Amino acid sequence: MYKFTAKLDVSNFRKLPQIVVVEPWANDYTLLPGEELVIVAFDDRQVPWFHVREWDGTTQVYVQVGADFKVWQGKNELQCGHNRQTEA
């Protein structure tokens, strides 16, 4: 059990999919238009912090080094590659 947690909600209000990348692990989760996810970070030493960078089509969320994290959509834990689009 971790002593500290922090939560960051990410919503996609765009008309196109938005890729959310959690760093420094480079785990990616694609949000379709209208979808949301929650990133929960855990740490034993301090309250985890986030740094967010955005540009067209991508949101990068940096989680404090040393923390662990999980990504949720409602009651479902998402895995890396969620809704990932593959090019034919």
Q: Residue 26 falls within a domain, yes or no?
A: yes
Q: Residue 39 falls within a domain, yes or no?
A: yes
b/e per residue 46-65 (b: at least 16 CB within 10 A): eebebeeeeeeeebbbebbe
Q: Is residue 37 within 8 Å of residue 72, measured between CB atoms?
A: yes
Q: Residue 18 falls within a domain, yes or no?
A: yes
Q: Which two tokens stand for residue 60?
A: 């990068």
**Tens-digit pLDDT string for the chain (88 aa):** 789 999 999 999 999 999 999 999 999 999 999 999 999 999 999 999 999 999 999 999 999 888 999 999 999 999 999 999 765 4
Q: What is the pLDDT of residue 86?
A: 60
Give the range of the structural domain holding residue 56, as residue numbers without chain letter.
4-71
Q: Residue 17 falls within a domain, yes or no?
A: yes
Q: Residue 64 falls within a domain, yes or no?
A: yes
Domain count across the chain: 1
Q: What is the pLDDT of residue 88?
A: 47
Q: What is the pLDDT of residue 66?
A: 86
Q: Residue 83 falls within a domain, yes or no?
A: no
